[in-house]
Structure 1
Amino acid sequence: MSVIDVTEEDALLIDEARLSWNDETTHARVQGLSRNPALPDTLVPRILEHPAADIVHVMYGRDWSDELFDIVAAHPDVRLREMLARCPRVTAGQRIRMIDDPDLHVLMALLEGPFAARSEPLPGWAYRKIAEHPAVRRRLPLYFPTELSRAAVAAFAAADDEELAAWARATSEPEPMTAERARTIAAGDSPWERRDIALEPDLPADVIVTLSADPDPRVRTYVSMRPELSEAERAAIGYQVSTHDRLPRLDWVLAADGAQLQRCVSSAHPGLRRSAACNTRLTTDQIAELAADDDFPVRLLLCENQEAVPTDLVVRTYLEARVITRGELLSHPAIVGADLTGYADSPHWGARALVVLDRRAPAELIERLSRDEHPGVRSWAAHDTRLSLQRLLELLEDPETATAAAANPGLPAELMAAILEAPIGSGDPPPGAAPSTGS
């Protein structure tokens, strides 16, 4: 069901709509419908067959009724069934109904689990039943236990089948680190192994000296983050850290407090400051110090791990970020519930677009932003259900905002159906291009 109730006046607007229908606009609108959380269940089977649909968004971006789940679970396309088995919003009760699927890819998807850390696991008996499939049993030895869901491995560990239980209980613990082994690795040819031991506790002093002069800058960087080193000793190692380098979170920094934590916050070493930004014991002053850090990853990690940061820092960090997880910043407590209307006149279009996240922003302001000079702002506003239907239809007609407007939950279901009926490959409009809601 659409969020916007269609009144008689709205019905007239829909009847009078004269949308352009061609391959480009249809493709853009179907892409938008793929992301529309209000797409009715009745239209999902149709969009899954549409050549312009974004199947990933259709599958992973919605809740699943039992009726719709059963339809897709029986679909002849194994790709759709495999994706369904991984959907984070599919319940365990629904997923159980797939354990008799004949395809190995679907069964392994059930064992690997959805792409969501908090997904509901299957009961143990269901995992063990899947493992009885001959193809699954042949495939399991190719996996490490960590590649499957924890619930599946736990179920296998308790299985009566000794071979399966032994596989599940198998561990990949590294060989114990001894002084002799450390010296062998430090003198070896593998920079990856030398890097991996650089932060090992209780390394012999001579090994630390060797690694501190290692020809590989990555090894020198890792060893420079050891807890026993002074600032002067770190600087003497000649480490190299760029904005794009991914460094490990240092356990000893995460556990630090008091004077030791302050030394990490004020350290000249970006690696220590990045880990300090994740420490749960930071004081207000330490958060402020890190918020002004000239290293972007420090500010990003601070926003990702601390709730007590100012809204403006989160906004600036979001606008600057080019990481795949940047969208998660928009659910930060400093953003959710904050008054964002002050950004409506920002010179940065990205900041103006964020105003739509403020659910208390008046509809008049959203309407104004939908006419912004920048298409990015207009597209963000086109998603918003506070828009009038007339303005939404105008945005659906505009090639620059058609995709975003089609993703608006307030789009009438009649128009959703008409978009899916529009032919691809001909210049003709769909039958009844101006759909009627009836009287």
Structure 2
Amino acid sequence: MVAFHASALDGVARNPALPTPLLLRLLAADGDGYRPPRDAVQRAGLPEPAVVAILTHPDPGVRIDFAMSARARPAQRARLADDPSPKVRTALAYGPEVYGARTRVAPLPDAVCVRLLDDPVPAVRTALLESPHVAPSFVAWMAAHHSAAARREAVRAWETLPPGERSALLADPDPQVRRAAALWQCRRDARLTAELLRDPDSAAAAARRGLLARADAERCVAARTHLAALAENPSLPAGLVERLAVDPDEAVRLAVSLRPELDDTRRTAIHSTVEGAAGSVGVRWVRDGLADPEVLRRAATSAHPLLRRAAALSPHLPPDLLRLLARAEDPQVDESLAVFHPDTPEEVLMRVHARLGRTFSAWMAETHPRFPREGLAARYADHPDGNFRRLAVRDPAATPALIERLSHDPVAGTRQAAAGDPRLPLHRLREALHVPELASSAGANPALPEPDMAAVLDRAGVPA
């Protein structure tokens, strides 16, 4: 018989039914250059013996894989804080690479972050400061740190810092720290805003968010400096708002049309084009209020498509606004609801699935709690589009005969979904282990018997 395809080992490594003895065999060190599959290192719910095997593995690449595992508990990853390899500590400091808006990574304990922030290797310190997984409590703690880079990052916690620490950051000996602090404080300080407007490195941000004296705002308009940013400023005097509403620059008019104080009548009277501008124009007052019911209601019920799109990013939409946005017939709204909202209606999920297909749809179908399951086999098993035939595998009522038929589907994604389904007849499951594009899915199938898993390890040369 043809040997198992090499990718069968990757499947077995992530198989949820993998017995602990075989998992420990996968993770064992070997002097001949064998390296455990990443899927084994980054499995969820690793038993303590497996964690110890990883932490003590002589290959730093294995420990790096664990340091960047989104499935490992923070306390487990934290045990790498004193690893002898700077590359391992750097990976730990930054943390997992996360894909998907619904994936959250719990931060490392603050005490571990303190140690990493004082690591003798600069790359470790930089990785921690750039990490998206640091706890807010630690960000605030850095305000009094001896490192200027750490104090500059601490400014992100400005609203929670006590007055004394804010004052210290505003008078910090490092100019970049002072500038970062001033850009937060200028929201309530017109004098500070005026100073920042004279600094080329901070002028645009100050124009967007600072408290403006009328004379400073007039000068910016007259000089036509940072007008699109200025048009977003909440403190821009009403007369200047009206002047910028008819500015010859399309981006400026569009920014004015998104101001929070305008009603829909005024918004629609401003001539602007929204298509293609969603990525370049921020609706900050909506993004900052994604948990605020009043902000969400004003944005979701607006006639302005960019406001509706901004509201669709919120996982906190009440049911009536969710239903309203689901009827917007805007592909960008649909996609945001599908990604961010756990209660997105089935018809929206299916619209996104039909339009996007392939990788995004597969991820959504597998992870969204509201994506349908029942009835999919009857609806889609014979659909002309393989992306829809794949959905039939999700149906609890799909028969083993149907699953086997779909494992021979012309479309690889459909075949792979069927190969990973535990209802696949055992003879076809064993057969799939030898098929290159199916071996990984078959190896991950929880119905694969333990002797077959062991045979995959044997054929792959995994040390006994």
Asked if these proteins are the same fold (TM beyond 0.5), I'd say yes
Is 2:325 the counterpart of 1:290?
A: yes
Q: CA offset at residue 90 of structure 1?
A: 1.9
Is 2:149 the counterpart of 1:163?
A: no
Pick one of 249, 254, 261 that aligns with 1:221: 254
Secondary structure of the 2:236 match is: coil
Question: 1:69 — aligned with what?
Answer: 51
Is 2:161 the counterpart of 1:126?
A: no
Aligned mates of 2:351, 2:36 — CA distance in 1: 30
Is 2:237 the counterpart of 1:204?
A: yes
Aligned mates of 1:241, 1:323 — CA distance in 2: 25
In the TM superposition, 1:31-180 aligns within 5 A as 31-33=10-12, 35-39=14-18, 40-45=22-27, 56-115=38-97, 118-135=104-121, 140=125, 144=129, 149-150=134-135, 153=138, 157=142, 163=146, 167=150, 170-171=154-155, 172-173=180-181, 174=183, 175-176=186-187, 177-180=210-213
Answer 1 or 2: higher relative contact order, Cα 8 Å, separation at least 6. 1
Taking a change above 3 Å as real, the CA distance of residues 163 and 248 of structure 1, as seen in their structure-2 partners, is: same
Secondary structure of the 1:353 match is: helix
Aligned mates of 1:28, 1:49 — CA distance in 2: 22
TM-score by length of 2: 0.68
User: Is contact 2:258–2:283 with CA below 8 Å preserved after alignment?
Assistant: no
Q: CA offset at residue 36 of structure 1?
A: 3.5
Taking a change above 3 Å as real, the CA distance of residues 283 and 62 of structure 1, as seen in their structure-2 partners, is: closer
Q: CA offset at residue 142 of structure 1?
A: 8.5
User: Is contact 2:68–2:97 with CA below 8 Å preserved after alignment?
Assistant: yes
Aligned mates of 1:87, 1:49 — CA distance in 2: 25
More moved, 238-247 vs 218-227: 238-247
Is 2:334 the counterpart of 1:334?
A: no
User: Is contact 2:357–2:387 with CA below 8 Å preserved after alignment?
Assistant: no
Aligned mates of 2:360, 2:381 — CA distance in 1: 24
Taking a change above 3 Å as real, the CA distance of residues 178 and 357 of structure 1, as seen in their structure-2 partners, is: same
Aligned mates of 1:246, 1:54 — CA distance in 2: 43
Taking a change above 3 Å as real, the CA distance of residues 338 and 86 of structure 1, as seen in their structure-2 partners, is: same
User: Is contact 1:396–1:405 with CA below 8 Å preserved after alignment?
Assistant: yes
Is 2:365 the counterpart of 1:365?
A: no
Amino acid across the alignment from 2:256: V
More moved, 346-355 vs 236-245: 236-245
Question: 1:8 — aligned with what?
Answer: none
Amino acid across the alignment from 1:29: A
Pick one of 292, 307, 318 that aligns with 2:353: 318
Pick one of 352, 373, 384 that aligns with 2:389: 352
Pick one of 202, 210, 234 that aligns with 2:267: 234
User: Is contact 2:27–2:40 with CA below 8 Å preserved after alignment?
Assistant: no
User: Is contact 1:277–1:302 with CA below 8 Å preserved after alignment?
Assistant: yes
Aligned mates of 1:48, 1:210 — CA distance in 2: 72
Taking a change above 3 Å as real, the CA distance of residues 135 and 339 of structure 1, as seen in their structure-2 partners, is: same
Aligned mates of 1:121, 1:143 — CA distance in 2: 11
Taking a change above 3 Å as real, the CA distance of residues 154 and 300 of structure 1, as seen in their structure-2 partners, is: closer
Taking a change above 3 Å as real, the CA distance of residues 373 and 113 of structure 1, as seen in their structure-2 partners, is: closer
Taking a change above 3 Å as real, the CA distance of residues 132 and 60 of structure 1, as seen in their structure-2 partners, is: same
Taking a change above 3 Å as real, the CA distance of residues 162 and 31 of structure 1, as seen in their structure-2 partners, is: closer
Q: CA offset at residue 335 of structure 1?
A: 2.1
User: Is contact 1:31–1:53 with CA below 8 Å preserved after alignment?
Assistant: no
Secondary structure of the 1:134 match is: coil
Amino acid across the alignment from 2:257: S
Gaps of 5+ in 2: 156-179, 188-209
Secondary structure of the 2:338 match is: helix
Q: CA offset at residue 383 of structure 1?
A: 0.7
User: Is contact 2:386–2:411 with CA below 8 Å preserved after alignment?
Assistant: yes
Taking a change above 3 Å as real, the CA distance of residues 213 and 30 of structure 1, as seen in their structure-2 partners, is: farther
Residue deviations 1:344-387 (CA, integer Å, cap 9, x gap): 33333222212323345443432343243433222111111111
TM-score by length of 1: 0.71
Amino acid across the alignment from 1:91: R
Q: CA offset at residue 416 of structure 1?
A: 3.7
Is 2:380 the counterpart of 1:343?
A: yes
Residue deviations 1:268-305 (CA, integer Å, cap 9, x gap): x3212213435645554x54453343320111223344
Aligned mates of 1:134, 1:74 — CA distance in 2: 22
Amino acid across the alignment from 2:94: E
Taking a change above 3 Å as real, the CA distance of residues 147 and 366 of structure 1, as seen in their structure-2 partners, is: closer
Secondary structure of the 1:317 match is: helix
Q: CA offset at residue 212 of structure 1?
A: 4.3
User: Is contact 1:257–1:281 with CA below 8 Å preserved after alignment?
Assistant: no
More moved, 381-390 vs 400-409: 400-409
User: Is contact 1:213–1:220 with CA below 8 Å preserved after alignment?
Assistant: yes
Secondary structure of the 1:237 match is: coil
User: Is contact 1:382–1:405 with CA below 8 Å preserved after alignment?
Assistant: yes
Percentage of identical aligned residues: 29
Taking a change above 3 Å as real, the CA distance of residues 309 and 153 of structure 1, as seen in their structure-2 partners, is: closer
Is 2:309 the counterpart of 1:274?
A: yes
Amino acid across the alignment from 2:91: A
Question: 1:13 — aligned with what?
Answer: none
Question: 2:170 — aligned with what?
Answer: none
Aligned mates of 1:398, 1:270 — CA distance in 2: 48
Aligned mates of 2:301, 2:406 — CA distance in 1: 40
Q: CA offset at residue 420 of structure 1?
A: 4.6
